[in-house]
Amino acid sequence: MTTTQLTTSAPQWLHDMTSPSTAVIQQKSKTPILDPPGFTALQTKQQKSKTPAPVRKQPTPEEMDTLKLKKAWELALGPAKQLPMNAIGMYMTGNSLQIFSIMMVFMLFKGPIGAMFSIQQTFSRLETETNRGQMLLVKAAFVGCNLLALALGIWKVNGMGLLPTTRSDWLAWETARDPLERAYFVPS
Amino acid sequence: MLLPLLSAATLLLTPSLAVFQDEAFHIDYHFALLGAPKESTTFFHQPNPASKASLIYTLSEEGALGAVNPRDGSLVWRQLLQGQHQSNASFLRAGEGQDLVVSGSLNQVAAWSAEDGRLAWRTATDGVLRDVEILELSDGKEMVGAKDAVALSGSHGAQSSVVRLDGATGAVKWTYEFDGSDEAYQVSASSTHIYAILLHKTLLGYLRIRVVSLDPVTGKKIDEYMLSSENELATADTIVSVGANSASPIIAWTDAAHSTLKVNVVGSKAISSFTIDQHAGETVARVQVHAPYHINSLSHFLVHYETATSHWADVFHVDVNNGKVTKAYSLPKLAGKGAFSTSTSDANVYFTRITRDELSTVSSASHGILGRWPVTSFGVVSGIGEVIEPVHAVSEVSVKGDAVSAIRTVVLLSTGDWILLRGGTATWNRPEILASTVAATFAMPAEVEAFAERLQAEASSNPVSAYVQRLTRHIAELKDLPALLVSFPQRVVNGFLGTSEDDLASDNFGFHQIITCATRNGRMLALDAGNPNRILWNRQVADLKKEQAWNPRLASSKGGEVTINSQAGTGFRYNISNGEQLVSILPVDVEGDAKAAREVRFTMTDSALDATVDSKPAWHFSPASGQTIHSLVPRPVNDPVASIGKVLGDRRVLYKYLDPNLALLVTKSSLTLGPSNTATFYVLNTVSGAILHASTHNDIDLTSPIATLISENWLAYSFTSAASATAPKGQQLVIGELFESLVPNDRGPLTGNQNYSSTISTPEPYTLTHTYQIPEAISKLAVTRTKQGITSRQLLALLPDSGAIVGIPYNALNPRRPVGRDATKDEQAEGLLRYNPVLEFDPKWLLSHQREVLGLEEVVTSPALIESTSLVFAWGLDVFGTKISPSFSFDILGRDFNKFQMLGTVAALGVLTFVVAPLVTRKQVDQRWKFL
């Protein structure tokens, strides 16, 4: 309503200024005046972008599955890619029991274990009825990679001497032998 | 810059086990003792002739010579003479106005500076000394400089002689040798003569007194005569006195029944005879003569008669001109024992009498009492119902007009305490009886042990019942709450000032153990290890004859009591908190162990070891020919071991050879045989008698002490090797450790068997040893003991030459220290350093730090209730005790913990909270009212 009022009462420039887009479109459609050189009209742009869009066709479900599988493999092998980095970090922190190295080892354990517990969630987006069989393999790979990270953690913990793998760790459970006889010195 | 860094680095490298500065003199205690003073060698004397201040000098029965400040009883100086524990063979004299005191013991005459105890000179005589006197000559030219000394010496059966020694240098001025083989008895000097008294044995076996008078200047004989003491003297014991250095020296003796007293003034042949009153049929047990010891004092003397229940005295005067002795007056008979002391002031002589409850002084001229002081308390503790009696006394009297203005008396009491009475009040006391300690042990008070057992029960039961037990214990403890609340402010203050003197019962750490000591004269006394300045009780437990040995052994089988086994009897039990004797039901077997099925008992005779099982002989050990047994140390019965293996740097395990039936036996060549002195050290299995390890050392100085120790799975011994063509004389400390196998993780042939019998199979241990060259001889070795044996061990060694006790950390001696190479990384992780054959005693290891602890002979250790700490008590002449934490005090706050700082921080935080709280509330409220 306002537009019509404006067109009737207000001058054309004002109308053009208040609603420039409509003005341009109107101008385009109505006036025969050529655009200034170097001016790229909005319309042409619209025409350019519109030309490929209609040709893009929806991917087939098979294609979708391959894509999702590809993505899932990427996710599954992600932890393995972090391994060398983690290994270097662990090697650098040394085997002494310090708050820093303990924290790092804790993170090392927390990451893979957490990831393994949330495995369904991680892959639920990528799982479909059709690729379920292949997905199993992917999940197994994911678990394997996380286990590798865990192994790194265990290697580190062993290096720090926290694993009861040696004889001395079980020494407290070994008991001394009791002699059957007891000798007493009797001062003469 | 570099130096502090370096020292910091060395601190990190070496285990700095040490006595901390803030703990020294707080956790340790030391009694610098002299031993029981002898009456004849105790006197007041001015060390500086110009000043009037005097010191008390004494030469004790332990052979310690020293000066004590009469003001507070502190020791001014002290010297140990040779020939300890030999009474009646030492002498101490001081010339009037001299700054030297002259001592004589064995064959040594020595002069010491009276002020600081430095040796002025020392001279040896040919025979054993019989007497030493100072020559107080009246002719002017001899008085210049130090006064000369006269010494009488003579060995048994050999010729006796008198020598005059120069007072300044100790050089011999002249010697006079007596003809015949009469036994030398005493020498006394008047102003013109030296009289030597010898005892001549008649054909009938009686003694006659032979007096030889000598010229003091030339040493020529002037006269000689025999006193006709017909058949009265059977032994020298009934000679009461030979008064020395007085205007008219006397000889007094009685017959064996103490019925007549005979007195002879030396120089005359007349003998005065007096009948001793037999009061109420009581026999006189002892007669003593107290005579002044000054050449220009009145020749009056006092004869002190003593029966079993009472005592009295007579005073006699000697007429100097004609040598007549007359009785002047008597002092009344009083019940109990008494002591008399003689003091002089110019020519006047005063006698002071000390009884159980009174001190009184009379002049020798008349029986009027010049001063009388009631003695309410001697200020020492005794056994229950025991009356403390004075034994002997020495006084210093100052007289103004007709009354005594001041009197100081040092009294040796029957409890063995040496006290000073100023007037009638006890000023200080020195527990000299501790110097004659022959056995000591730690004992836990019954309450503390009960508490420890309760905690143990709580720890070992299941959590629920433990919680219930704890709850009921706390509820039961609630009844002590009011008393606790009352004493709480005081406790807090004490805790802060570090002056807490907590009582025995509330000792949660086990520091307040009671040390019971048995002494050579048959007494027993108790000290609190946490508060050692107080003797808890002191009582006679054995009635011994003079010089009778009783070889007591003390043990504490359970809390609150101690058991004595001795030659006087076995199985006497005493309550340790008050010394009360407990009714002995059965002789308790202290070392009984219920677990062992069969008991093997072994004893050591002079030349062999014999063991029996069920009273049948089990095994016999006799040393190789030419060897005798020197000592035997079995592994302690209560020797807890925390871990059965040693964890190596690579976390493998070397298993310890742990067998409770181990003993370390030392045999040495009998001194008479051959020049090569060897000692062999055997580790024996005392069940089977098998020798598990033996090592022989040649060229040993067998006159030096050999200290041995066996504990856990290791042994240590120390000896002095004699100088030889290839090696100088030196002391060595050998340490050996026994392992089941030297292969890690191997438990030896018996592997993990639960039990085994040594008679069936005795696997041999693998022994590693290291020998260290140490700077001085060790007379005794001991090891720290803790409750569970988790804390690392320290080897305690008594060093007699430097008067110290040193705690050597085991790791410094570890026999696994690598030889000839640096330690590998794994070995460094264990704290092993490269072996160095020379072991210097780090000054930080000295437990006695600045103290000079003389004459220590034995050391015992006891675990406290907390694991980190071990209590140590060493005795001999001195008594020294401390508590040590070999692995630092990991379970208790040290003295360096700043309570003020902690409380201050808490208080500051509290104040801060109160100040900030309203500010924060206001801010929060303000925020609510703000529009966003």
Euclidean distance between CA atoms A142 and B832, whole angstroms: 48
Integer-rounded Cα Rg, in Å, for chain B is 34
Q: In this structure, is residue B916 part of a structural domain?
A: yes
Q: In Å, how far is B555's CA from the nearest CA of chain A?
A: 14
Q: Which helix (H) or strand (E) holds A150?
A: helix A132-159
Taking only residues 751 to 780 of chain B, the set having a beta carbon closer than 8 angstroms to any beta carbon of chain A reads: 752-759
Instruction: Please provide the DSSP assignment of B535-604 as one string.
Output: EEEEEE-----TT-----EEE--STTEEEEEETTEEEEEEETTT-PEEP--S---TT--TT-SEEEEEEE
| pLDDT tens, position by position, B779-829 | 999 999 998 899 999 999 999 989 999 999 999 999 999 999 999 998 998
Question: Is the pLDDT confidence value at B19 over 80?
Answer: no
| pLDDT tens, position by position, A133-183 | 878 888 888 889 889 989 988 988 888 888 888 888 898 888 888 888 888
Does A176 sit within 8 Å of B603, measured CB to CB?
no
Among A169, A181, A186, A188, pick the best mutation site for testing chain B contact (most B Cβ within 10 A). Answer: A181
Euclidean distance between CA atoms B237 and B362, whole angstroms: 29
Query: B325 falls in which pLDDT band (50, 70, 90)?
Result: confident
If you average pLDDT over residues B292-310, what whole number do you get?
84
Indicate the burial class of B237 (C-beta count within 10 angstroms; 0-12, 13-18, 19 or more): exposed
| pLDDT tens, position by position, B912-926 | 999 999 999 999 999
In chain A, which residues touch B (CB < 8 A)? 161, 166-169, 171-172, 174-188
Q: In this structure, is residue B729 part of a structural domain?
A: no
In total, chain A counts a number of residues equal to 188
Taking only residues 482 to 541 of chain B, the set having a beta carbon closer than 8 angstroms to any beta carbon of chain A reads: none
Does A171 sit within 8 Å of B596, measured CB to CB?
no
Q: In Å, how far is A97's CA from the nearest CA of chain B?
A: 15
Q: In Å, how far is B655's CA from the nearest CA of chain A?
A: 10
| pLDDT tens, position by position, A118-134 | 888 888 877 777 777 87
Residue B541 confidence (pLDDT): 85
For residue A187, which residues of chain B lie inside 8 Å, CB to CB? 553, 603-604
Q: In Å, how far is A187's CA from the nearest CA of chain B?
A: 6
Residue B157 confidence (pLDDT): 62
| pLDDT tens, position by position, B414-442 | 999 999 999 889 999 999 999 999 999 99
Tokens 């040394």 found at:
A94
Residue B18 confidence (pLDDT): 60
Residue A44 confidence (pLDDT): 47
* Dihedral sign for Cα atoms in the order B828, B714, B785, B841: negative
If you average pLDDT over residues B875-904, what whole number do you get?
87
Tokens 């030459």 found at:
B801
Q: In this structure, is residue B923 part of a structural domain?
A: yes
If you average pLDDT over residues A30-45, what whole number do you get?
67
Query: B663 falls in which pLDDT band (50, 70, 90)?
Result: very high
Residue A53 confidence (pLDDT): 59
How many beta carbons lie within 10 A of that of residue B463, not counting itself? 8
Question: Is the pLDDT confidence value at B895 over 60?
Answer: yes
Q: In this structure, is residue B911 part of a structural domain?
A: yes
Tokens of A5: 């009022």
Does B648 sit within 8 Å of A168, measured CB to CB?
yes
Residue B728 confidence (pLDDT): 82
User: At residue B603, what is the residue type?
Assistant: T
The alpha helices in B461-517, defined as continuous H runs, are: 463-477, 481-497
Does A184 sit within 8 Å of B602, measured CB to CB?
yes
| pLDDT tens, position by position, B245-275 | 666 788 888 877 778 888 888 877 788 888 8
Euclidean distance between CA atoms B828 and B822, whole angstroms: 9
Phi-psi region of B444 (alpha: psi -120 to 50; beta: other; left: phi over 0): beta
Residue B593 confidence (pLDDT): 47
Residue A133 confidence (pLDDT): 80
If you average pLDDT over residues B679-693, what whole number do you get?
92
| pLDDT tens, position by position, B122-165 | 998 888 888 888 887 655 454 557 788 888 887 766 678 888 98
If you average pLDDT over residues B9-38, what whole number do you get?
71
Q: Which helix (H) or strand (E) holds B11?
A: helix B2-13
Residue B918 sits in which domain range?
905-932
Residue A184 confidence (pLDDT): 85
Question: Is the pLDDT confidence value at B6 over 50?
Answer: no
Residue B767 confidence (pLDDT): 94
Query: B510 falls in which pLDDT band (50, 70, 90)?
Result: confident
Model ipTM over 0.90 = no
Residue B1 confidence (pLDDT): 42
Query: B10 falls in which pLDDT band (50, 70, 90)?
Result: very low
Of B604, B644, B663, the CB nearest to A174: B644
If you average pLDDT over residues B864-882, what whole number do you get?
92
Is-contact B648 B745, C-beta < 8 A? Answer: no
B884 vs B278, which has greater pLDDT? B884
Residue B11 confidence (pLDDT): 40
If you average pLDDT over residues B12-27, what whole number do you get?
63
Euclidean distance between CA atoms A26 and A68, whole angstroms: 47
Question: Is the pLDDT confidence value at B231 over 90?
Answer: no
Query: How much of chain B exceeds pLDDT 90, in percent?
Result: 30
User: At residue B95, what is the residue type?
Assistant: G
Does A182 sit within 8 Å of B600, measured CB to CB?
yes
Of A166, A182, A186, the CB nearest to B651: A166
Query: How much of chain B exceeds pLDDT 70, in percent?
Result: 90
Nearest chain B Cα to A165, which residue?
Answer: B651
Is-contact B682 B707, C-beta < 8 A? Answer: no
Q: In this structure, is residue B108 part of a structural domain?
A: no
Task: Give the least confident one: A142-151, B346-355, B364-373, B745-754.
Answer: B745-754
Taking only residues 620 to 649 of chain B, the set having a beta carbon closer than 8 angstroms to any beta carbon of chain A reads: 632, 634, 641, 643-645, 647-648
Does A186 sit within 8 Å of B603, measured CB to CB?
yes
For residue A183, which residues of chain B lie inside 8 Å, CB to CB? 599-602, 611, 634, 661, 663, 686-687
Does A182 sit within 8 Å of B603, measured CB to CB?
no
Question: Is the pLDDT confidence value at B12 over 60?
Answer: no
Question: Is the pLDDT confidence value at A43 over 70?
Answer: no
Does A177 sit within 8 Å of B759, measured CB to CB?
no
Residue B2 confidence (pLDDT): 46
Does A179 sit within 8 Å of B661, measured CB to CB?
yes
Does A168 sit within 8 Å of B653, measured CB to CB?
yes
Query: A28 falls in which pLDDT band (50, 70, 90)?
Result: low
Nearest chain B Cα to A185, which residue?
Answer: B602
Query: A51 falls in which pLDDT band (50, 70, 90)?
Result: low
Coil/strand/helix, residue A171: helix
Of B595, B643, B687, the CB nearest to A183: B687
Q: Which own/partner pairs from B692-697 qualify as long-range (CB within 8 Å, at least 24 positions apart)?
A: B692/B662, B692/B738, B692/B762, B692/B764, B692/B765, B692/B767, B693/B736, B693/B738, B693/B765, B693/B767, B695/B734, B695/B736, B695/B769, B697/B721, B697/B732
Query: B9 falls in which pLDDT band (50, 70, 90)?
Result: very low
Q: In this structure, is residue B485 part of a structural domain?
A: no
Q: Which of B262, B281, B245, B145 is nearest to B209 (CA)?
A: B262
Q: In this structure, is residue B909 part of a structural domain?
A: yes
Coil/strand/helix, residue A48: helix
Q: What is the mean pLDDT of chain B?
A: 84
Nearest chain A Cα to B687, which residue?
Answer: A183
Query: B873 falls in which pLDDT band (50, 70, 90)?
Result: very high
| pLDDT tens, position by position, A55-108 | 677 878 788 888 888 888 888 888 888 889 888 988 888 788 888 888 888 888
Euclidean distance between CA atoms B175 and B126, whole angstroms: 11
Please give the backbone phi and psi of residue A183, each rounded to the nearest 5 degrees, phi first.
-105, 140
Euclidean distance between CA atoms B689 and B709, whole angstroms: 19
C-alpha to C-alpha distances, B432 to B37, B44, B635, nearest whole angstrom: 8, 18, 33
Does B600 sit within 8 Å of A168, measured CB to CB?
no
| pLDDT tens, position by position, B391-405 | 999 999 888 877 888
Q: In this structure, is residue B431 part of a structural domain?
A: no
Euclidean distance between CA atoms B169 and B121, whole angstroms: 6
Q: Model pTM? A: 0.84
Euclidean distance between CA atoms B748 and A96, whole angstroms: 33
Residue B232 confidence (pLDDT): 66
Residue B596 confidence (pLDDT): 52
Question: Is the pLDDT confidence value at B603 over 50?
Answer: yes
Query: B387 falls in which pLDDT band (50, 70, 90)?
Result: confident
If you average pLDDT over residues B659-677, what whole number do you get?
81
Nearest chain B Cα to A187, which residue?
Answer: B603
Count Cα neighbours of B155 within 13 Å in the Cβ-side half-sphere. 6
Residue B245 confidence (pLDDT): 62
Of B647, B750, B753, the CB nearest to A168: B647
For residue B647, which residues of chain A lie inside 8 Å, CB to CB? 168, 171
Q: In Å, how far is A144's CA from the nearest CA of chain B?
A: 32
Residue A3 confidence (pLDDT): 46
Does B755 sit within 8 Å of A171, measured CB to CB?
no
Nearest chain B Cα to A164, which residue?
Answer: B651
Tokens 């005579």 found at:
B291
- Domains contained in chain B, number: 1
Query: B86 falls in which pLDDT band (50, 70, 90)?
Result: low
